[in-house]
Amino acid sequence: MLCVFWLQKLTNNFSNSRPDAVIPRCLGSITSALSCQMRVFVAVVMVVSTEVDGDRRRHYTACWINTRSRPARHNIRARIAANVSDKALPIRGVQVSSAKINGIDLHYQRYGEGDAIVFAHGAGGNLLSWWQQIPFFSQRYQCITFDHRGFGHSLDVPEGPGAASFVDDLRGLLDHLDIESAHLVAQSMGGRTMLGFAVKYPHRVRSLVMADTVGGMNVPAVVAEQHNWAATHTASGEIGFRAVSPLFVQRNPNLANLYLQISRTNPPRHMPPDGLPAGPGTDELKNLNIPALFFVGEDDQISPPQVIAAGAKAIPGSKLLRVPEAGHSVYFEKPDIFNFEVLRFIESAEKSA
């Protein structure tokens, strides 16, 4: 017997609730409704908050899930992305290599075929960080991951330029791979690479995803929010501990430990005495005509929502997604939501190009 639950009335009843309250209430209603042994198709609704040019609104991320009666809530959540199947997704066309770029051996991996998506990791990771994205996106796209200079297997030269060379390193990698243009996906520190590249080479960027990062923007509103946050919050401990939310650690101790161990595979590095170079300023960003999507976890303790919101406003037409129950690593903590929303954004950017 086939049952279809139409949840429009349910979601309307919860329309004035916080997103993090709606999700468990929706799932609870679905669970209680499934009282007999049968296979059903259920429309599950995830609620995320969206901002476009400062106008905040919520939208419902819906997908159909094939399940059985009385499913555990975590089983539904684990399959929330529309394209996730019951079977493990194969990884297509794997190429592991390195290229001589700007005086170093830049380590990279390439998967799949088609239009290119390039993923830039944060300071707490390396190319291993994208293990939950590559099987998903490589089904339809050519996916490039790489170790930033000074991370993973991409060792910097003694007294090398470090982060100051990130943008030029990315350009060299794309040239080496004969990729003229690509969709760029950045996490945290990787935002400096991707935003800097987008400003310098906008004709080579098809879309830009900035996850928990403002890419070092030298914008007064962003800098002010960062200073306000730093004045009232003290950072302590290595980044592997701070980059995920306490709730994620409590619910997923094994994955939290994996995040930490990936971070610890990086070689020792030292912060430049003058700090990281400043990123693009207001004038450079206001003329950036590239589809841009910002993510922020509502529990982010490194780049909090108010900082990311200020950064999103600096790029005209950009969108901001606030994800409940996530910290500084939405891509790692909530991969199903992240993958689904990034895919939808990229598809929209391709249609409007």
Per-residue confidence band for 15, with pLDDT thresholds at 50, 70 and 90: very low
Per-residue confidence band for 192, with pLDDT thresholds at 50, 70 and 90: very high
In degrees and rounded to multiples of 5, residue 191 shows phi and psi of -65, -30
What gap in Å lies between CA 284 and CA 278, rounded to an integer?
13
Query: What is the topology classification, in CATH, of domain 95-352?
Result: Rossmann fold (3.40.50)
Instruction: Please choose, from the candidates 106, 312, 122, 279, the residue with its C-alpha nearest in 3D space to the C-alpha of residue 196.
Output: 279
Structure tokens at 33: 């409704």
Q: What is the pLDDT of residue 6?
A: 36
pLDDT digits (tens, 9 = 90+) for 166-186: 999 999 999 999 999 999 999
- Taking the CA atoms of residue 182, residue 215, residue 120 and residue 312 in that order, the dihedral angle to the nearest 10 degrees is -60
Question: Where in the chain are the domains?
Answer: 4-78, 95-352
Instruction: Please choose, from the candidates 256, 259, 261, 129, the residue with its C-alpha nearest in 3D space to the C-alpha of residue 185.
Output: 129
Residues 219 and 285: beta-carbon distance below 8 Å:
yes
pLDDT digits (tens, 9 = 90+) for 135-144: 999 999 999 9
β-bridge mates for residue 352, sequence order: none
Q: What is the pLDDT of residue 232?
A: 86
Classify 216 in phi/psi space as left (phi over 0), alpha (psi -120 to 50) or beta: left
Using the predicted structure, report yes or no on whether residue 39 has a pLDDT greater than 50.
no
* Mean pLDDT, the chain, whole residue set: 80
pLDDT digits (tens, 9 = 90+) for 323-341: 999 999 999 999 999 999 9
Does 270 or 56 have the greater pLDDT score?
A: 270
pLDDT digits (tens, 9 = 90+) for 91-130: 766 788 999 999 999 999 999 999 999 999 999 999 999 9
pTM of the model: 0.78
pLDDT digits (tens, 9 = 90+) for 60-72: 343 333 333 333 3
Using the predicted structure, report yes or no on whether residue 307 has a pLDDT greater than 90.
yes
Q: What is the pLDDT of residue 269?
A: 77
Output the CA angle 260-261-267, nearest 5 degrees. 105
Q: What is the pLDDT of residue 89?
A: 65
What gap in Å lies between CA 250 and CA 253, rounded to an integer?
6
Angle separating helix axes 190-200 and 166-176, nearest 10 degrees: 70
**289-to-174, 180, 202, 209 alpha-carbon distances in Å:** 21, 18, 8, 14
Residues in the chain: 353
Per-residue confidence band for 7, with pLDDT thresholds at 50, 70 and 90: very low
Per-residue confidence band for 233, with pLDDT thresholds at 50, 70 and 90: confident
Q: What is the pLDDT of residue 329?
A: 97
